[in-house]
A and B are shown apart, each in its own frame.
Chain A
Amino acid sequence: MSVVQNNSEKNKWYLVGILGGMGITMRHLLKNLFNKKQMETLNYPEEKYEYSPRFKGNHVLTVKKDGALRCTACMLCATNCPAECIKITAAEHSDPRVEKYPISYEIDILRCVFCGFCEEACPVDAIRMGPEWQTPGVNGTNFIYDINKLAYRPNLKGGIQTHVDDEERHKSGI
């Protein structure tokens, strides 16, 4: 690396620069000390930041009105996923109106890059990226999320309902 040595007279005034910087630091310190409400930083983890609902965090599999999975096991999300972390096993449903459904749906969340491509690919609004982002785990935590976790984890309170309803579509003759 070539280092340009600048030995001009100007360099001798560095002390002024440093003092200026310290001044700014001091100003912020005093401002925060006397006006705590406007402080920018949070006391994580006691205080948590609320992201917008559009934040792309952990996946949610939506459910139909009867609580069953909306997913049709079309594998478009798995095909579109650049990290290839979605694994679906399809099966034949006993109800001919459903026809195909996933018997297993797994996302390897450690490989997921949270790009949201799965959400984009899904034709029936079956997978969404939720606002949840804190999912740490200790050794032995299962980071391969299955249907139970993706659709029915406790904080989803029985599942998120999908917008695309087959019954309604059939009734309107689409």
Chain B
Amino acid sequence: MPKCTINGKEVEVKAGSTIIEAMYQEKESIAHYCYHPGLSVAGVCRLCMVEIEGNPRVQIACNTVVTEGMKVNNTSAKVKDAVKWGLDFHLINHPLDCPICDQAGECGLQDQYMEFGKYDPEMAERKQKKHKVVDLGPTVVLDSERCILCSRCVRFTDEVSKTHELGLFNRGDRTEIGTVEGKQLDNKYSLNTVDICPVGALTSKDFRFRQRVWYLKDAETICPGCSTGCSTKVYFNKEGMFRVKPVYNESVNGHWMCDEGRATYKFINREHRLLKAKKGKSGQWSEVAPGAAAKELSGILKGTNADSLGLVLTAQYSVEEYEAIVSTFVNTFKSKKVFFWVNNKESFESFDGLLLRGDKNPNTKGLLKILDKYGLTATWGDLKSGIEKGELKTLVVAGPENQAVFPDLGEKITELSKVPKLIWLQAGKNEQLEALTGDVTLIPLKTYVEKDGTFVNHQGLEQKFKRVTTVVSEALTLDQAAQLMSGQEIKITTADTFIESNRRPDEVMLEHRKKNEFVFKRGTL
């Protein structure tokens, strides 16, 4: 374990680590573009300059291994000067069209310029023009003029997704990023290139121009897209959710996440949500408050014979919610007919080798654990025969939150709606449900960003997540619904929509404001 001194601090690092890793470890800030902890070292941006005692020239930190007794600093005037002129070279052909650049506000060039630059450019030459708005594939747009040729994106497709679509073409100041002849940047992880691009060269088609980043708040949560359970950050403001990005989590997803998981913000937004409980009888619908609807059901459910009462669960809810609803059924209603709705059965065990799993539920393990705990063994076959024989008369269904990953949804709705009384709890709208003509009650539920809870991922790792915000304040969580249905009184505090939970104590609140969140909490670089 070599020891070295970094900016005057004695540090012990793992043998073979580079100076930039030691700096990361010490949380020292260092300018860099091409180095990424999840990728190989390229050493092309020449921005991570450090001064090593006894070495006449400044060196790059990302490709210099720490040796015993090394004395390193990146705060001296020499280093600052080197970074400054390095930055000037990066900006020689840069268009500086920050006003229309989606990266503005979280751009590496802007950040480093504020930290090290602040010079007047001394280039009198014309800028090299390159391609703008290049369509790289179904998800990503490239602006080659803004690219600083750090090659992170190329290394990502070579080393992580292993799809080898991107490459550097031409030479010198005409070098451009591009896709290999006849190929598109089209893989399941393509949007990671947008995250790691330190500038606005790669932008996501989904997010492009929809918001300026300084209007967005963010909060960490767990991706409900599949049973891997990547750590993510959701970005939102009072107009809704806008994007999802990965957060480093060593034991689950590393630095990355898949493109599918990035779409999990969509079903949270109000336009896709069920806002009120709906009671339907032979095609006539009336709207009621969700809490009232659940309360009303308590009488009906308690009066139902335990043998004719069933519960269908999807693996999309938190452990706490399962505990509440299953114990209500087993203890209060004395029904053991709890069925597990398995979506995409064929691909359940599949795994693409990186992150994506065929089990598109965040909490299958958690649900199985609860079913096990209560000794529930009913199968889907039992449910089918129960419906056919007419034994099952009342069915409570906790439907899918992310309807896109339930290819059998329509089929299942048809199947389950054969019971005389159907109670369907779900966050999102569904046309087929609203077209049912039987005795149906639809109760809106909250989504994963609107509640605290635990997901158990495929490894059996319990991951807790916290409430991020509230989108539909009236909607119930599954445990609230369970409590109400079992006849307990609960206090539902209808939180104001879009009030963030990570608010600063001295923060001034103005409801209509679209605050400049980025500047607000950025602090230092």
Contacts and interface: CB of A to CB of B under 8 A. Distances in A.
Nearest to A91: B209
Nearest to B141: A92
B209 A73 contact: yes
A79 B514 CA distance: 9
B132 interface: yes
Contacts of B99: 72, 74, 76, 123-124
Interface string B410-453: 00000000000000000000000000000000000000000000
Nearest to A95: B133
Contacts of B214: 79
B132 A92 contact: no
Interface of A: 72-76, 78-79, 84, 90-92, 96-97, 99-100, 123-124, 170, 172-174
A99 B133 contact: yes
A84 B208 contact: no
A172 B125 CA distance: 10
B491 interface: no
Contact of B132 (A74, A90, A99, A123): A99
B100 interface: yes
Contacts of A100: 100, 209
Given A72-B100, A79-B214, A96 B209 contact: no
Nearest to B131: A96
B516 interface: yes
Contacts of A92: 208-209
CB-CB nearest 9 A-B residue pairs:
A173-B126, A74-B99, A96-B133, A100-B100, A90-B209, A75-B212, A72-B100, A123-B99, A72-B99
Contact of A99 (B100, B104, B125, B512): B100
A96 B513 contact: no
B521 to A, nearest CB: 16
A127 B80 CA distance: 38
B127 interface: yes
Given A73-B209, A173-B125, 10 more contacts: A74-B98, A75-B212, A84-B513, A84-B514, A92-B208, A96-B133, A99-B133, A100-B100, A123-B99, A173-B127
Interface in B82-140: 98-100, 104, 125-127, 129, 132-133
Contacts of A99: 100, 132-133
Contact of B516 (A74, A79, A123): A79
B100 A74 contact: yes
Which label, helix, strand, loop or mixed, suits the secondary structure of the B interface?
Answer: loop
Contact of A174 (B98, B100, B127, B516): B127
A9 B440 CA distance: 95
Interface in B126-168: 126-127, 129, 132-133
A123 B514 CA distance: 21
A162 to B, nearest CB: 14
Contacts of B126: 172-173
Interface in B335-367: none
Given A173-B126, A174-B127, A96 B132 contact: yes
A134 B210 CA distance: 35
A18 B183 CA distance: 94
Given A84-B512, A96-B133, A79 B100 contact: no
Nearest to B104: A74
Contacts of A74: 98-100, 104, 212
B100 A170 contact: no
Contacts of A173: 125-127, 129
A90 B100 CA distance: 10
Contacts of B513: 84
Contacts of A72: 99-100
Contacts of A76: 99
Contacts of B210: 90
A160 B132 CA distance: 28
The winner among A84, A97, A124 for most chain B CB atoms within 10 A is A84
22 contacts: A72-B99, A72-B100, A73-B209, A74-B104, A74-B212, A75-B215, A76-B99, A78-B514, A84-B513, A90-B209, A92-B208, A96-B132, A97-B132, A99-B100, A99-B132, A100-B209, A123-B99, A124-B99, A170-B129, A173-B126, A173-B127, A174-B127
